[in-house]
Chain A
C-alpha cells in the first residue's frame, strides 16, 4: 500500500466540491434568490474547478486509473506548466475561489467543501507531492510482430543435452549415437 498520496483524495474532494458549487449556483440563479449574482459567480467557479480537477494526476507508485475521456483535459491542464503542477498553487486557488461562495446560502456547502479540499491539497503539497499528467505510455510493452516471423527459424530449438535424451527403445539401431569424429583413447 505504501505512502498515502493525499492529493488523490484532495482531487476527489475538489471535483465533488466543484459539482456542488455548480449545483448550488444553478439552483440560486434559476430561483432568482436574493444576491443571486454570487450564484452566477459560483456557476463559473464550479465549472472552472471541475475542468481543473477532472484530469486525475499520476500516482507515484502503482497503476493510475484515468477518468473516462480525461485525455484532452490532461493536455489542457498540463499546458499551464508549474501553475497546475504545484499543489501549493492549487490549495491557494481553491481557498481563494471558495470565499465568495460563503455569502449565499445555496453555495455555502460548496464553499466549505472546496475549503476542505484546499486544506487537503495543502497537506499534499507540504508532503512534497505534485501533479503529474497521466499520458499514454510511449513504447507499449508488446512490440508488433516483425517480418521475421515468416522466415524459418535461424536457431535450433532448445534440446536437452545428448546424454539425457531419451533413446527410442523400439529402434535401437537408429537411436544409436554416431560420433561425427572418430574417438580414440588418449595415449
Chain B
C-alpha cells in the first residue's frame, strides 16, 4: 500500500478531486432545480426531467472548460517550469495530459447522453401539455403567451409545432443537434484503431472541436429553460385556483424568463488560451529554420540538424515539424536527439509512413549542398526525461524507436561529464535497449560507442551500465554470435557490452539495481509500448521500499 501511494498517490488524488467536483456539481444543480420555488411551475410540466437535464449541463460546463487545457502544450511547459521548485511528483502529473483529456472526454460523452435524453423527454412533455393532455394547471401554464400582462413558459407557442419542429427551429435545439453530431464524429474517429492506423482521419476530424465550441457558446442563448420571476408568490396557495389568477393580490399571473446563459463564461478562458497556442504555432510557422546538415543514414534514417534563432531545448524534449512542401496543415512530433549543449538541434526520422516517406524522397532528390525544403518547427515541448538528472540513479528503458529520447540524455551526460557540470546529480545510469533488430539504429550504436570510449578514458566505466536486448533473432544469427563468442566487442553493435537475446527478466534487473544502490532514489524512464509500461510500473511499486532510507523507484513514461 505504501509503495502504491508513493508511485500513484498524487495521480489518484487528482482524479478523486476531479470526480468529487463533478459529483458536487451534479448533485447541487439537481437539487437546485428540483426544490427551488422559482422552477415550481416549470417542474410541474416537466417533472424531474428538468433536473436530469440541468445537472448534466453543469457538469458539461465544467468538463468542457477542462478538456482544452491538457492539449495546450505551451501552457503545460509553462506550468512545468513554475513547478520546478515543487518537486518532480507534481511535474510528473503533467505527462499524463492526454489520459486526462480522454477521461474528461468520456465524462462529456456520458453527460451529453443524459442531457440529450432528458431534453427529449422535456420536448415531449411540453408538447403534451400544450395540447392539453396533462392536468388543468399544465394546460393553463402552457397557454400563457407573451402579452401585455403575461409571459410564456412553454416554448411550444402554437399547436402545430411538433417536438421535432421545436428542436430544428430554436437556437438551443439546432446548436444542440449540431454539437452532438460533432462530438459523436470526434469520438468515433478517435478510437484506438483509427487514431493509430489512420492518423489523418483522426487529426482532421478532431478539428470539429471548433464547431463544437462555437455551438456550445451559443447553445444557451435561446434561454429556453424558463423560471418564474414573480417574487413573493405562494405556489401552494395559488396552484389550485387557476381560474382566479390575476384577480387577487396574492395570486397574480406568474411571469417567466429564461436563465442567463452561463456556458460561455466557463469555456471562454480555455478557448482564449487555446487560440493563443494556435497563434504561437502560426508565428513559429513563419520563423525561418536553417539546415546545418542533412545526413541520410543507411537503413533509411534521415538525420536533420537544424538551427533556429532563440531556440532553447532541454533533454528528451520533442518538437513538431511541418513541411509545407508535403502538407501545410500536418504537424508531426519528433523527439530531439541532440543535447542542449550543442549549438543546433537534430531529429532522426525513420521512414514509417506517408509523411516521413515523402520527406525522405524530397531530401534524396536535393542537389549537392542545397538547403532542404522549408521546414517549420513548433516547440520544444517537455516530457519526463528532462528529470533524468534529478535522480541519483536513472534506469532508462528504450524499446524500439523509443531509444531516441535517450540519445539526447546520453549525449547530454557526455557533455556534462566533459565540463564536470555540478548540476549532474546522477551517479549511475542503467540503460536498457530492447529492440527487434538493431540495423535501423546504427546511428545509436555509434553514439554508444563514442560514449563508451569517453567514459573509459576518464576512468568512469562504472558510470554507465547498458544492456542490449535483441528480441528478434534466428538460428543463423545465433551461429554467428557463437563463432565470435570470444571477441572483445559485440558482433552486432561493435560495443563492449554483449547483446542479450530475448526479453529482459525485469525481476532480476530490478533486484540488481536495488542491491547495487541500497539507499538511492531511482528514476525509471520508459519510452516504449503501453504493455511494457504496465509491467514496469508494477515492478517499480514492487521493489520500492516504504522505509524512506531505502531504495525507491519512481516510474516515468514518455508519450508518443
Contact = CB atoms under 8 A, between A and B. Distances in A.
Interface in B284-322: none
Given A8-B197, A24-B120, A109-B116, A1 B188 contact: no
A175 to B, nearest CB: 15
Contacts of B177: 108-109, 112
A34 B128 CA distance: 9
B121 interface: yes
Contacts, number: 91
Interface stretch (B179-187, B221-229, B458-466, B522-530): B179-187
Contacts of A109: 116, 177, 180-181, 184
B482 A158 contact: yes
Contacts of B192: 65
B198 interface: yes
A48 interface: no
A12 B193 contact: yes
Contact of A105 (B164, B180, B194, B197): B164
Contacts of A160: 483
A98 interface: no
Contacts of A103: 164
Contacts of B197: 1, 5, 8, 59, 62
Chain A CB within 10 A, most for which of B128, B194, B355: B194
B200 interface: yes
Contacts of A2: 353-354
B116 to A, nearest CB: 7
Chain B CB within 10 A, most for which of A1, A5, A6: A1
B127 interface: yes
Contact of A113 (B167, B181, B198): B181
Contact of B201 (A4, A27, A28, A112): A4
A28 B188 contact: no
A9 B205 CA distance: 11
Interface string A7-34: 0110011001000100110011001011
B247 interface: no
Contact of B353 (A1, A27, A33, A166): A1
A65 B164 contact: no
A5 B198 contact: yes
B120 A27 contact: yes
Contact of B188 (A13, A24, A62): A13
A157 to B, nearest CB: 8
A106 interface: yes
Given A1-B197, A12-B191, A108-B164, A27 B123 contact: no
A49 interface: no
Given A9-B194, A16-B184, A166-B486, A105 B479 contact: no
A34 B124 contact: yes
B354 A1 contact: yes
Contact of B120 (A1, A28, A65): A28
B194 A20 contact: no
Nearest to B192: A65
Contact of A12 (B113, B124, B128, B188): B188
Contact of B164 (A5, A104, A116): A104
A27 B198 contact: no
A8 B120 CA distance: 31
Nearest to A28: B120
Interface in A74-123: 103-106, 108-109, 112-113, 116
A34 B164 CA distance: 11
A8 B181 contact: no
Contacts of A116: 181, 185
B400 interface: no
A113 B188 CA distance: 11
Nearest to A30: B121
A60 B120 CA distance: 41
Given A2-B354, A4-B200, A16-B187, A65 B193 contact: yes
A1 B199 contact: yes
Contact of B121 (A6, A27, A56, A108): A27
Chain A CB within 10 A, most for which of B127, B189, B191, B197: B197
Contacts of B113: 23
A23 B117 contact: yes
Nearest to A164: B483
Chain B CB within 10 A, most for which of A5, A24, A106: A106
Interface string B354-398: 110000000000000000000000000000000000000000000
Interface string B160-186: 001110010000000001001100110
A65 to B, nearest CB: 6
A24 B123 CA distance: 14
B188 A9 contact: yes
Nearest to A157: B482
B84 interface: no
Chain A CB within 10 A, most for which of B120, B167, B185: B120
Contacts of B187: 16
Nearest to B475: A158
A4 B486 CA distance: 50
Nearest to A56: B193
A9 B164 CA distance: 29
Interface string B328-357: 000000000000000000000000111100
A27 B378 CA distance: 48
Contact of A16 (B188, B352, B479, B486): B188
A129 B192 CA distance: 21
A23 B191 CA distance: 21
A12 B164 contact: no
A72 B172 CA distance: 43
Chain B CB within 10 A, most for which of A2, A9, A158: A9
Nearest to B133: A34
Nearest to A165: B486
A60 to B, nearest CB: 10
Given A1-B353, A4-B201, A157-B482, 18 more contacts: A1-B197, A1-B199, A2-B353, A8-B198, A9-B188, A9-B194, A13-B185, A16-B188, A23-B113, A34-B127, A56-B193, A59-B197, A105-B124, A106-B120, A112-B177, A116-B185, A158-B479, A158-B483
21 contacts: A1-B197, A1-B198, A1-B354, A1-B355, A2-B353, A4-B201, A8-B194, A12-B191, A12-B194, A13-B189, A16-B187, A16-B188, A20-B184, A23-B117, A27-B117, A31-B124, A34-B162, A65-B192, A109-B180, A113-B181, A116-B181
8 tightest A-B CB contacts, nearest first: A1-B353, A12-B188, A105-B163, A158-B479, A105-B164, A13-B188, A4-B198, A106-B120
